[in-house]
A and B are shown apart, each in its own frame.
Chain A
Amino acid sequence: MSALTLARAQFALTVMVHYLYPVLTMGLGVVLVMVASLRMRRPDEVYDRMLRFWSHIFGIVFAGGVATGVVMEFEFGTNWASYSRFVGDIFGAPLAAEALIAFFLESSFLSILLFGEKRVSRRTHWFATLMVALGATLSAFWIVAANSWQQTPAGFAILHGRAELTDFAAAVFNPSTPLRFLHAVLGSWITAAVFVGSLSAYYLLRGRHQEFARRSLRLALVFGLAALAAEVVVGDAHTRQVARTQPEKFAAIEVLHHTQTGAPLAVVGQPLPEVLLPKLLSFMTYFDFDARVTGLDAFAPEDRPPVTATAMTFHAMLWLGLGLGVVLALGVFLWWRGRLFVSRRYLKVLCYCLPIPFVVNEVGWVTAEVGRQPWSVYRLLRTKDAFSGSVPSEQVAISLLMFVVIYLGLLGLTFYLVRKKVLQGPGGGGEEVPS
């Protein structure tokens, strides 16, 4: 295999494993702020246990995020040296800003959140929790801004053989940054909500830690459903923005081979028998049944993204995400009817939903990144030209193998530690009598 293919495989592996960690902690941070705020208003022992338990899980997952995150920051230099030289003037700044503004904040205050309950006042502890969540969210902002610049570059000029910054604000708030930031953050909120809901359902099914689980589950359902409702709006707006800013990615997502007016929406696509709803794609994209939608044939073959992977991951994200919405809405409905905590069938379904939001986030990112190909920076730098020329393929093969081994170990260890914590339970109240 060529060094380029190996380097791409390595980046895909390291970034996909990395994202499993922050996608949970970003959302869990917000959950912790909500619990800490509730505790400030009405201090009681159940909120104490909720804050302690979910923050311990946060701590375990955060460490994995740090360990895998350092890799990402190094990899642009090690594997994508040509890319770094070409875009460093613009792309480096958000990464440095992320470390300086966001990551310091999160990792510094995390120690108070995790270990500091006896050392600081409740108010300071609440503030530390808020700073951790704020740090995680700011982190997401800078990383998404950097990645969005690769999707829709702005605020630069090609000078001295590289992309040079001409307008900092335009580069950071490029056309796709705001919606993609919201999209990613809401995705992480949904992930944390389903995570908390699923484990609470597990305790309810087992008849353990009832009051703890009930409060956690209620919080998760409200938070998750609100985030998901917002995500539907943001996701829709983002897709329409892609149609305007990256038409070839949009054409790949919707498998639209030919440019046409009144384009149909493919509800079910290849390899299954196609189901086309006439004119709907034009309407959904431009609110006009006869609007002209650009198809893949408008682009030279070497400029088209891989269609199958882009389209399949997009639809997996869409349907699984909407499926989660149905589950969360059903939960709220059952709660309203007073049957939430007794419907074992529903609790079981919710319990098994645990991995789904992680999958949804990952496939969504695959759509974003594979759909950007063949470009590393959209219409500026091809992925094949972004690679480090001086690194021989054997060395990339060695490092790829190293990451496969160490990340399998890391994922296994995280799973083991989280599972152990869950089995151990939130403690304090111990085994309550099931009601």
Chain B
Amino acid sequence: MILDLIWFVLVAVLVAGYAILDGFDLGVGFLHFWVPRSEEERRVCVASVAPVWDGNEVWLLTAGGALFAAFPPVYATVFSGFYLAMMLVLLGLIIRAVSIEARNRGASPAWRRFFDRSFAGGSALVALILGVAVGNLMRGLPLDARGEYAGGFWALLNPFSLFIGATTLAMFAMQGACWLAMKTEGELGKRAVTAALFAWAAFVALYLDATLWAPSDAPWLFLRARQSFAPWIPVPPMALCLVGLPILLRRTRLRLAFLCSSVSIACVVAILAIAACPIFVLCTNEVGRSLTAFNAASSPRTLTAMLIIVACALPFVLGYTAFIYRVWRGKVRAEPEGY
């Protein structure tokens, strides 16, 4: 069914949009202890994401909603299977949301230090766990006859998935550092460029290592990449962006650098999605129970109705999102009084 595949692609697009957009504000959070060094610099860093973080997070809500609407069994199995992990993601999201809003509203240094820590910690937690979840989906999950996850919580914390978690953290750190490099100036801007270079090196190393690890821990993805040409299509643009990124950073072509970082994130999501398509959840103990875009899809009527909604709404969403980012373009300065 072509509708099922369209929705598979749309879910992947929403995930990529989330990784690019919330990726940078999660990265800014994660880097909050290293890049800014003074109170004023920390204010600038928080101010750089304050107007946009909640809009970015809506991409997660939309991806979740789209998964729920288009592939209910996948939504149900993954979210209930990763129960405690999902609760930790929620914990991280709540903590960092509150921290961004509360940080600049308290006068005492202890107040600010507390919310600096929770902003960084919450952001890191979200990035890490989402990466671990992706790692587990890459490996496949044991499912029972009703399609429910049949493993325990600790089984989710396997070395491969933790490694993918670390890779995700590095990827978001790269994205966040590129954002800061683009949005800040002076000493802070220089430090952001250095951080971006470090994060870039870490991400490239971890990503290559994860690729070498895939044949043993995610053999099905690896097999599909060997059998088909399609998963290789996003590789050249990704390679180009990742090679170009440090050069652009050194030459302070910072907007282009951020664009390169964003494109490489989109390519990472695309490679995984193309290699996995149409499988969402590979069942490791009984391949026939795997959840795919075909056997987990909602009815054609629902998919069509949703597609019409997306076709009508998405141009507006992209339009005003571009407008908002245009309003906030340019370097950030610390707002004098919260808002």
What per-residue 1/0 map shows which CB atoms of A119-138 lie under 8 Å from chain B?
Answer: 11000000000010000000
Please, which residues of chain A bring their CB within 8 A of the CB of B320? Answer: 104-105, 108-109, 131
Q: Please state if B299 and A77 are interface contacts (CB–CB under 8 Å).
A: no
Q: B148 on the interface (CB 8 Å rule)? A: yes
Within the complex, which residue of B66, B91, B317 is in contact with A402, where a contact is CB–CB below 8 Å? Answer: B91
Check A92 against B101 for contact (C-beta < 8 Å). Answer: no
Contact of A100 among B57, B90, B313 (CB under 8 A): B313
Residues of B near A76 (CB, < 8 A) are 68, 75, 79
Cα of A134 to Cα of B320 in the assembled complex, Å: 14
**Residue contact B101 to A63, C-beta cutoff 8 Å:** yes
Q: Say yes or no for B247: interface residue by CB 8 A criterion.
A: no
Q: Is the CB of B91 within 8 A of A108?
A: no
A165 to B321, Cβ gap below 8 A? no
Q: Are A165 and B73 in contact (CB under 8 A)?
A: no
Q: How far is the CA of A87 from the CA of B75 in the complex (A)?
A: 12
B61, A89: Cβ atoms closer than 8 Å: no
Given contacts A97-B309, A99-B61, A101-B309, contact A60 B101 (CB under 8 A): yes
Assess the B327–A417 pair: CB atoms within 8 A.
Answer: no
Does B212 touch A at the CB level, under 8 Å? no
Q: Smallest distance from the beta carbon of A398 to chain B beta carbons, Å?
A: 7
Is A96 a contact of B66 with CB atoms below 8 Å?
yes
Q: How near does chain B come to A145, taking the closest CB pair, in angstroms?
A: 13
- Contact call A95/B305, Cβ cutoff below 8 A: no
A95 nearest in chain B by CB position = B65
Contact assessment for B105 and A420 in the assembled complex, using a CB-CB cutoff below 8 Å? yes
Interface assignment of A84: CB less than 8 Å from any CB of chain B: yes
Q: Check if B57 sits within 8 Å of A389, measured CB to CB.
A: no
- A104 and B105 form a contact (CB under 8 A): no
Q: Which chain A residues (51-74) contact chain B, with CB distance < 8 Å? A: 56, 59-60, 62-64, 66-71, 73-74
Task: Give the contacting residue for A79; candidates B68, B69, B80; CB below 8 A.
Answer: B80
Report B206-252 residues with CB < 8 Å from chain A CB.
none
Taking CB as reference atom, which chain B residue is nearest A120?
Answer: B327
Q: Give a binary string over A83-124; 1 marks a CB under 8 Å from any B CB, 0 the rest.
A: 011011111110111111101110111111011100110000
B94-136 at interface with A (beta carbon < 8 Å):
94-95, 97-98, 100-102, 105
The B45-77 residues at the A interface (CB cut-off 8 A) are 50-52, 54-55, 57-58, 60-62, 64-73, 75-77
Q: Which of A66, A101, A105 contacts B57 (CB under 8 A)?
A: A66
Residue of A nearest to B84 (CB): A395
Most buried by A among B68, B313, B327: B68
Docked CA distance A93–B65 (Å): 7
Cα–Cα, bound, A109→B52 (Å):
10
Contact A165–B65 (Cβ < 8 Å): no
Q: Is the CB of B75 within 8 A of A108?
A: no
Number of interface residues of A (CB under 8 A): 71
Of B55, B97, B298, which one neighbours A108 at CB under 8 angstroms?
A: B55
Quote the shortest CB–CB distance from A248 to chain B (angstroms). Answer: 28
Roughly how many angstroms separate A101 CA and B314 CA in the complex, as a whole number? 8
Asked whether, in the complex, the Cβ of B72 is within 8 Å of the Cβ of A85, the reply is yes
The reply on B287 being an interface residue by CB < 8 A is no
**Roughly how many angstroms separate A402 CA and B64 CA in the complex, as a whole number?**
22
B123-165 interface bits toward A, Cβ cutoff 8 Å, 1 = contact, 0 = none: 0000000000000000000001011111001000000000000
Residues of B with C-beta under 8 A to A108: 55, 320-321, 324
Cα(A118)–Cα(B225), bound, Å: 52
Interface positions, chain A 33-55, Cβ under 8 Å from B, are: none
Residue pair A77, B148 in contact (C-beta under 8 Å): no
Q: Which residues of A contact B150 (CB under 8 A)?
A: 390
Judging by beta carbons under 8 Å apart, are B58 and A101 in contact?
no
Q: Whole-angstrom distance from the CB of B70 to the nearest CB of chain A?
A: 7
The answer on a CB contact under 8 Å between A88 and B76 is yes
Residue pair B80, A93 in contact (C-beta under 8 Å): no
Name the interface residues of B280-339: CB closer than 8 Å to any CB of A: 298-299, 301-302, 305-306, 309-310, 313-314, 317, 320-321, 324, 327-328, 335, 339
Q: Are A92 and B68 in contact (CB under 8 A)?
A: yes
Given contacts A77-B68, A96-B68, A100-B62, are A71 and B94 in contact (CB under 8 A)? yes
CA distance A399 to B80 in the complex (A): 13
Could you tell me if A417 and B102 are in contact, using CB atoms closer than 8 angstroms?
yes
* Cβ contact within 8 Å between A111 and B328: yes
Nearest residue, chain A, Cβ from B78:
A77
Residue A276 at the chain B interface, CB threshold 8 Å = no
Q: Give the chain A neighbours of B60 by CB distance below 8 A.
A: 70
Other-chain contact of A77, B80, B100, B147 (Cβ < 8 Å): B80
Q: Report Cα–Cα, A105/B323, bound state, in Å.
A: 12
A241 contacts B by Cβ under 8 Å: no
Question: CA–CA, A133 to B62, complex, Å?
Answer: 20
Q: How far does the Cβ of B54 sit from chain A's closest Cβ, in whole Å?
A: 4
Contact status A388-B321, CB under 8 Å: no
Q: Which of A88, A116, A164, A165 has most B Cβ within 10 Å?
A: A88
B83 partner residues in chain A, CB cutoff 8 A: 78, 388, 390-391, 395-396, 399
Say yes or no: A100 contacts B65, CB within 8 Å: yes
Name the residue on A nearest B146 (C-beta): A389
The verdict on A395 contacting B62 (CB below 8 Å), with A96-B68, A388-B76 known, is no
A93 surroundings in chain B (CB, below 8 A): 69, 302, 305-306, 309
Chain A, Cβ-Cβ closest to B93: A70
- Chain A residue nearest to B310 (CB atoms) is A100
A56 to B97, CA, bound (A): 16
Chain B residues contacting A71 (CB-CB under 8 Å) are 90, 94
Q: List 17 A-B contacts (CB under 8 A).
A: A59-B101, A66-B54, A68-B94, A73-B64, A77-B75, A84-B75, A85-B73, A96-B68, A98-B65, A101-B313, A108-B55, A111-B51, A164-B299, A164-B302, A165-B298, A165-B301, A406-B95
Q: Which 8 A-B pairs have the closest CB atoms?
A: A88-B72, A77-B79, A92-B69, A96-B65, A111-B51, A92-B68, A390-B148, A81-B76
